[in-house]
């Protein structure tokens, strides 16, 4: 019997395989796809995982060719730009990397350390007893002492293990597309007349125009409604753009089109007997930027515990701490991303006022006139304000901390 079988060769399953192999096991990863996915899903990693990958000596390879790697200069919290510039000790790290490249590097690492990745095997059934777990595959049968479902939001392992996945499904749909642009000269944010780079709001929905690499425009359309039964086509995408901004756009040749509906869900349990969940199989967040951080750090948390138990170093009770430690983290990320989604969607002038107020930079210093009027608030330009109001330098005025 094998020690650990991981279902799903997405980023989380691959990370888990690498970590287990690093700890001395020979895990097996099963994936139903015959080939690795080339879908351009995540554009980067943010948070604790960046530091952890640094501890593993992987940041050099991952950051090669990256548009950005380092302390985050800011974060779009529900489209409210949080600015961290000037905070040299900012602990939030950011690494821009396309998901297919991340998966390639994690695959190479896992294989180099001794994990085995078997593609073209779909898990269809699961049964467990006191000794281990038996998986029914599209290609036969497999057995291991522990199974980890890293098989994404529609997790078969989660369903077969009888773990509920409560939460909500958004009433808005998002169409996302990458378009080839004929660009010359240095890389620039996309410019389309009458529209801003980033998100543009209209009464009918929201349109995103951005780019993360030269020659590729990323466009997104959010609106209430449903997605087509089949794949999103160029015509369907164009029609959605027209509904939201009332005109056509010169987007360019489509490279990749997709349609998604955001969900906010958290697995009721992270463990059922000898079966564990990690990554999107355990949680889906309704706003971007957190999923890989939470999922990959789950993999790191579970791996050393499984290895320590399987290598006979600690009692199996240690495995209970996986859910105890990690589910509250995902619950917190779910609350954060629900708040972001609510902030982003708040409609009309009320929503505009909410976002504008929250986007105001905090004032480090206030300049208060003798009549109580706040003559100046901020982090720069104090001397100028003092001269304007008092015809004197800042030494002559009372500056009070905010
Ligand atoms: C457009 C888009 C943009 C995103 N941007 C970001 C971002 O910037 N930052 C971020 O952190 N996250 C982002 N995400 C989310 C991120 O892509 C996911 O969180 C991540 O892919 C989850 O990884 P995973 O390994 O848990 O699952 P998945 O990547 O879904 O992998 C699951 C794997 O399991 C396999 N599988 C499924 N069922 C079975 C079965 N029955 N038998 C065998 N194999 C099976 C699948 O073939 C797949 O390979 C984005 C997602 C999308 C769609």
pLDDT in tens, 161-187: 999 999 999 999 999 999 998 776 666
Q: Which one is predicted more confidently, 361 or 255? A: 255
Mean pLDDT of 363-388: 78
CA of 285 to the centre of ligand 1 (A): 12
b/e map 313-350, b = 16+ CB within 10 Å: eeeeeebeebbeebbebbeebbebbbebbebbbeeeee
- The pairing of beta strand 275-277 with beta strand 140-149: parallel
Percent of the chain with pLDDT over 90: 70
In the chain, CATH 3.50.50.60 sits at 2-168+264-345
**What is the CA 297 to chain-centroid distance, rounded?**
12
How close is the Cα of 386 to the center of ligand 1, in Å?
55
State the average pLDDT over residues 301-327. Answer: 98
Ligand 1 mean position, distance from CA 46 (Å): 16
Tell me the per-residue pLDDT of 230-267, one tens digit each, with 9 for 90 and over: 999 999 999 999 999 999 998 889 999 999 999 999 99
178 lines ligand 1 (CB under 6 A): no
Q: Could you tell me which residues come within 8 angstroms of residue 41 by beta carbon, excluding any fewer than 6 positions away?
A: 99
**Residue 370's pLDDT is what?**
80
Q: For residue 71, name the pLDDT band (cuts at 50, 70, 90).
A: confident
Give yes or no for residue 299 CB within 6 A of ligand 1: no
CATH 3.30.70.2450 residue window(s) in the chain: 171-261
Q: What is the pTM of this model?
A: 0.90
CA–CA distance, 299 with 10 (Å, rounded to integer)? 12
CB–CB of 253/180 below 8 Å? yes
Report whether pLDDT(386) > 60: yes
* Ligand 1 near 292 CB (within 6 A): yes
Class (C level, CATH) for 171-261:
alpha beta
Question: What top-level class would CATH report for the domain 2-168+264-345?
Answer: alpha beta
12 lines ligand 1 (CB under 6 A): yes
Angle (nearest 5°) at CA 50 between 46 and 55 = 170
The whole-number average pLDDT for the span 43-61 is 93
Kindly give the residue spans of alpha helices, DSSP state H, lying in 272-401: 291-310, 320-345, 348-359, 382-390
pLDDT tens sequence across 327-358:
999 999 999 999 999 999 998 899 999 999 99
Who has greater pLDDT, 28 or 395? 28
Q: What is the per-residue pLDDT for 372?
A: 86
Contact 393, 387 (CB under 8 A): yes
Question: How much is the mean pLDDT over the chain?
Answer: 91
Percent of the chain predicted with pLDDT > 70:
95
């Amino acid at each position: 019997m094998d020690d650990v079988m991981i279902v799903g060769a997405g980023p989380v399953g691959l990370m888990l395989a690498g970590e287990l192999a690093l700890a001395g096991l020979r895990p097996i990863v099963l994936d139903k796809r015959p080939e690795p996915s080339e879908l351009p899903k995540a554009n980067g990693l943010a948070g604790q995982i960046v530091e952890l990958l640094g501890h593993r000596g992987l940041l050099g390879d991952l950051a090669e060719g990256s548009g950005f790697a380092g302390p985050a200069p800011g974060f779009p919290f529900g489209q409210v730009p949080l600015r961290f510039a000037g905070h040299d000790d900012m602990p939030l790290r950011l690494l821009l990397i396309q998901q297919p490249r991340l998966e390639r590097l994690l695959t190479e690492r896992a294989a180099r350390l001794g994990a085995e990745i078997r593609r073209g095997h779909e898990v269809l059934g699961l049964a467990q007893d006191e000794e281990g777990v038996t998986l029914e595959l599209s290609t036969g049968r497999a057995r291991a002492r522990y199974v980890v479902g890293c098989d994404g939001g529609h997790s078969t392992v989660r369903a077969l293990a009888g773990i509920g996945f409560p939460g909500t499904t958004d009433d808005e749909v998002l169409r996302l597309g990458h378009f080839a642009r004929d660009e010359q000269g240095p890389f620039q944010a996309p410019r389309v007349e009458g529209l801003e780079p980033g998100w543009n709001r209209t009464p009918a929905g929201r349109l995103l125009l951005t780019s993360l690499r030269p020659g590729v425009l990323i466009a997104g359309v959010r609106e209430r409604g449903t997605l087509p039964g089949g794949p999103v086509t160029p015509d369907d995408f164009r029609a959605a753009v027209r509904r939201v901004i009332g005109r056509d756009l010169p987007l360019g040749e489509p490279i990749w089109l997709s349609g998604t509906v955001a969900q906010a869900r958290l697995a009721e349990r992270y463990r059922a007997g000898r079966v564990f969940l990690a990554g999107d199989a355990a949680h889906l967040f309704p706003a971007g930027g957190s999923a890989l951080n939470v999922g990959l750090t789950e993999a790191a948390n579970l791996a050393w515990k499984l290895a320590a138990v399987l290598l006979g170093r600690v009692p199996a009770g240690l495995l209970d701490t996986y859910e105890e430690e990690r589910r509250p983290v995902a619950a917190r990320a779910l609350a954060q991303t629900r708040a972001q989604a609510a902030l982003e969607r708040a409609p009309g002038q009320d929503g505009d006022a909410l976002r504008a107020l929250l986007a105001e930079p905090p004032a480090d210093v206030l300049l208060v006139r003798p009549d109580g009027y706040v003559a100046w608030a901020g982090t720069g330009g104090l001397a100028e304000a003092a001269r304007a109001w008092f015809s004197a330098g800042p030494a002559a005025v009372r500056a009070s901390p905010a």
